Amino acid sequence: MTIIAGCDVGSLTSKAVIMQQDKILAVEIIKSKAKPQESANLVLENALTKAGLKLPDVQFIVGTGYGRDHIPFVHKTMSEISCHARGAKWLVPSAKTIIDIGGQDCKVIKLDKTGNVSKFIANDKCASGTGRFLEVMARMMNISIQELGEVSEKSKQPIQFASMCTVWAQADVVKYLNSGFALEDIGAGINMAMANRVSMLVSAIGIETDICMTGGVSKNSGVFVSLERILGHKIKKARKLDPQLAGALGAALIANDQIKGRA
């Protein structure tokens, strides 16, 4: 019985996936601690407990995410790009373009026929294309990050925001809030601003269908739908697993390859 694991220590959340070959045994998402070691230990331990396993049972672990170089127990580290690519391909086998929006980063990855990364682009500019941006905005509006995603549906007239910079966009949000604009229009405007940013990355790399979205922000239905509208293409939903786990899943799959490669 080959047990493998992937551990994605992100800036905001840490994720672990434990697999037995192609079968997922357990998954876990926790909020990242200040120290990556702690996050890694905790998230893996939780996942192992769920699976009824112990660390020595796991044969190969791949680490990824911002804290990847500081995870004590991994056998190999890979960048988030490769892991998300691998994970997304498993979740949506027809995927050619992957949009991964996490807490600190937004990446668009293109895959070739065999599922290898043929090109990628990451957001270097201002931070308005990141999950963190949404969190700051949600906090500004006194709603939860889940609610922020949902408000878009109710809005008839999303507000157009200064989408270039978090600090500045915030000033705008405050202003609109104080001027009595409807919460849903502001929220929808924020999701739209985000989608606009991301769509620029997507266009820069060139769209190829199918498109699939991973990372925490893919759970924000407002961004998801706005992005579909701007791109003019449907985005495939990952149904087999929470898309926020795609990085950890990819890491686990890469661990699996490693084991196979050895055998």
Partner 1 sequence: MRPELSEYPFDWMLWRSLISASRLKHGSEKEYQSALRYIPYFKGVVNTIYNMGSPGQKFLKIIETYVERIVTAKENNRKVAMTTFCFSPALLHAMDIVPVSLEPMTVLGSVMWKRGCLDYMDFCTDIGFSETGCSSQRGSMGAYLARAASEIDFIVIDSAGVCDTNSNAFSFAATYLNKPFYGLNYPATLIDDQTKHYHRDDYRNMITFLETHTGKKLDIDRLREVLNQHAKQDALIHEIEELQMLVPNPMPVTYNFLIYAGRFFFSGVSLYTELLEEMLEIVKQNAKQGKSGLTGGQEKLRAFFIYIDHYSLDLKLWTLLDQRGISHLGNILSRGFSAKAPYIKYVQNHGYQIDTSTLDSMIDSITEINARMPMVRSIRGPYDLPHMWLEESAALAKLLKADCCVYNGTPGCRNTWSNVKLIANDLEKHGFPTHIMYGDAFDERVESWEITSTRLEEFFTIRGLL
Partner 2 sequence: MIVAGCDLGSQTVKVVIMDDMRLLAKTVIPATTQPEKVVEEALNLTLDQANLRMSDIQRFVATGYGQKQVSFATQTASEIVCHARGALWHLGSVRTIIDIGGQDAKAIKIDGQGKVLRYQYNDKCAAGTGRFLQIMADALEIQLDDMGKIAEKFTESITISNQCVVFAETEVVSLINDGKKVPDILNALHKALAARVASLVKGIGSIEQDVLMTGGVAKNRGVFHALEETLGVRIQQPEGMDPQINGAIGAALIAS
Partner 3 sequence: MIDIFLNAARTIEPNAVSEEKQHGKLVVGYTCSYLPAEILHAAHIIPMRLRGIETHSLEIADSYYGPFICTFPKCLLQLASQGSYHFLDGAIISTGCDGMRRLDECWRKAGSDYHGSLPSFFHYFDVPHKRESYAISWFIEEIRKLIQHLKTHFNVKITDDAIRQSIQLYNHGRRLMFELDSLRHTEQVRISGAHAFAVSVAGTILPRELFTEQLALFLNHVKNTNTIMGKNQKRLMVVGSVNDDLELIELIEQCGAIVVSEHLCFGIRNEDDLVNETGDPVAALADRYLSNSACPRMFGYFSERLNLVKEKIQKAHVHGVIMQNIRFCDLHGSENGLMEHALEALGIPCMRIEREYGSLTETGRIKMRIQAFLERIES
Q: How far apart are CA 194 and CA 78, in angstroms?
A: 27
- The answer to whether residue 260 forms part of the interface with partner 3 (CB under 8 A) is no
Letters for 124-143 (x = contact with partner 1 by CB under 8 A, - = none) are -x------------------
**Residues near partner 2 (CB under 8 A):** 11, 33-36, 66-67, 69-70, 104-105, 126-127, 130, 132-133, 136, 141-142, 164-168, 170-171, 174-175, 177-180, 183
Q: Which lies closer to partner 1 via its Cβ, residue 138 or residue 198?
A: 198
Pick one of 156, 232, 261, 263: the residue that binds partner 1 (CB under 8 A): 232
**How far apart are the C-alpha atoms of 148 and 142, rounded to whole Å?**
10
- 100 binding partner 3? (CB under 8 A): no
- Residue 124 binds partner 3 (CB under 8 A): yes
81 binds, among partner 1, partner 2, partner 3, none (CB under 5 to 8 A by kind): partner 3
How many residues touch partner 1 (CB under 8 A)? 19
**Range in contact with partner 3 (rule: CB under 8 A) among 92-100, 111-119, 128-136, 241-249:** 111-119
Strands 211-214 and 97-101: parallel
Nearer to partner 1, 49 or 157 (CB): 157
Sign of CA dihedral 59, 65, 67, 68: positive
Question: Which residue, 31 or 125, is less far from partner 1 as judged by CB?
Answer: 125
Dist. CA 222–CA 150, nearest whole Å:
6
123 binds ligand ADP (CB under 6 A): no
Give the x-and-dash track for 176-195 against partner 1 (CB under 8 A): x----------------x--
The verdict on 216 binding ligand ADP (CB under 6 A) reads yes
Contacting partner 3 (CB under 8 A), which of 27, 61, 78, 246? 78
- Which spans of this chain sit near ligand ADP (rule: CB under 6 A)? 10-13, 65, 102-104, 131-132, 134-135, 145-146, 149, 215-217, 219-220, 244
